[in-house]
Each structure stands twice: as structure tokens, then as C-alpha cells.
Amino acid sequence: MKSTALMNNNPSANSGAALRYGMFIPLALMIASVISCCLSYSNAKQTIANDLNDAMFALANENSELWTRPDTIAAIRHMHETTHKPLIYQASDVNFRNPALKDEAYFTLALVDNKNVSHRIGGNKIASDSIMLMPERAADGLAIQVQGFADCSMASVFFASDQTLPGILFSLSILSMASMLIWKRKETETPEAEFIAVSASPSLDGIKLTPMQRQLARMLLEAPGMKVDKRSLCESLWGNKSNAEESLYTLVKRTKIALAEAKMEIVCNRGDSYELRVNS
């Protein structure tokens, strides 16, 4: 008899655990993409501020004498008393490393002394550092405060930043997530795997059998379920012989003895068929 062993190591549970742990991969890539995107955005913002600083120092060095003259200070004081706003200097003629800042940046000139503090510019703007220009004959700590600003939207700063690495990480996270979903779908559609180990068919090699005994044993061995009815055995072995059943009985009895050493047994089922069994 062919022996079949069915072993189920619960592969669905193992694949489910692997899938749960595998989902950490796209999550980690997504977090890394967001962090790198924020860092790139922050670096781009700082680059704009540094560009404003350099342009502001160059502009202040070029115009410090003009801006600290008494008539300029008087004009700035008059404007502040009238509008309560600092003097704005457009940056269209200022050189920036990023030429696009010429349309977005400007500089403010504010009069600062013991009575007036620097004016705060509202809004979501990128601001440079500020410097103080001191007139030669300053009273009450009078100074001209110069500071640069850039009206850059979040979108413009984002597009100015280097998003290569965040883009790669984001793409990898999407690809890995898609792979996990495809894997999960295949696991759902595929029935639970079963590992079947089938032992080799019993062999008649090495067993001393007469030709008739070997033919009988092979017929049983190769039959489905190793079972054959008496009529088929008689017709195959003796044709239309009248006492075929008596001859079959004698043949089975002698074959049993020969197969006993190989742990094989021929069993009669309800008198209508014979079955070969392999004893472990």
C-alpha cells in the first residue's frame, strides 16, 4: 500500500507574520522621504536667507554713506512718522546668486533710536539678518537698520529645493507597498499550501516468487488502492479456466507466505476481491 503523509506547518500564519513585518519597509521609506523632504526644504530656505544676507552686506557697503546722511535720516524719520512703516528699497538692481530673487526680494531701511524700535514686517516671509549703520554724529543711539526680505511662497521654496532623494525614497516606498499588496493578494487567492510526502511504492525486488506469484503481486501492487476483484484476477491469470477460483485461492495462499518476509499481506475483502497491504 502506498503510504502518504500529510504535513501542514501552517504556512499562512508564517506568511501573514512576514507580511506584517514587511509593511515596516514602506513605512520606514515613507518616513525617511518626509524627513529628507523637510530637510531639503529647510536647506533651500536657508540658502535664500544666505543669499539675502550676502546681497544686503554688499548693498550696505555700497550705500552706507548715502543712507547715513542727515537728509536721508530726516526723510526716513518723516516717512515713519507719516506711514509708521520703514523705507523699502526694491532689489531689482541687486545681484543675487539666484536671479529669481530679484522679483521677490526687497530691503527695509528703518530708523532706530531710543524712541523708535525696529518695525516688524508681517507675513510668511524669509528674512535675512539685520545690520545697523551708525551715522558719524548720532544722538540717542540713532542708527539705520537694514534687513532683507523675500516674499517666497512655500511652493516656490519647495520647487527650489533639491527633492531628488525624497523623490527616490517616496517612489521606493510606493513600489514596496504595491509589492506587499500584490503578495497579500496572491496569498489570499492561493489555497493553504500542504506538504505531501509520498513514500516510494513497495518493491518486489529481492523477494523469491514464482512467475505466477510475481504476476499476482504486481497486479495488486499496480491496481488503484492495490485492490483487484477475484474475477479480474482469474481472467488475467487463467483466462476461461473452469476452476480458476480454486487455483487463485491456492496461489494467494502461497504468495502470502512469500510476501510475509517483506511485510506485505494479501487480504480477502468479503470474498469478492483481494487487497495488498504494506505493514510498517
Q: Pull the grid cell for residue 201.
A: 511504492
Closest CA to 75 of 62, 63, 88: 88
Fold of 211-278: Aspartate Aminotransferase, domain 1 (3.90.1150)
pLDDT digits (tens, 9 = 90+) for 28-83: 999 999 999 999 999 999 999 999 999 989 888 888 888 888 888 888 888 878 88
Are 162 and 41 a contacting pair, CB within 8 Å? no
Determine the Cα–Cα distance for residues 195 and 74; give it in Å rounded to an integer. 95
What pTM was estimated for this model as a whole?
A: 0.54
Which residues share a beta bridge with 90?
106
Closest CA to 106 of 128, 81, 88, 118: 88
Indicate the domain borders of the chain.
60-157, 211-278
pLDDT digits (tens, 9 = 90+) for 141-188: 788 889 999 988 888 888 888 999 999 999 999 998 888 888 878 776
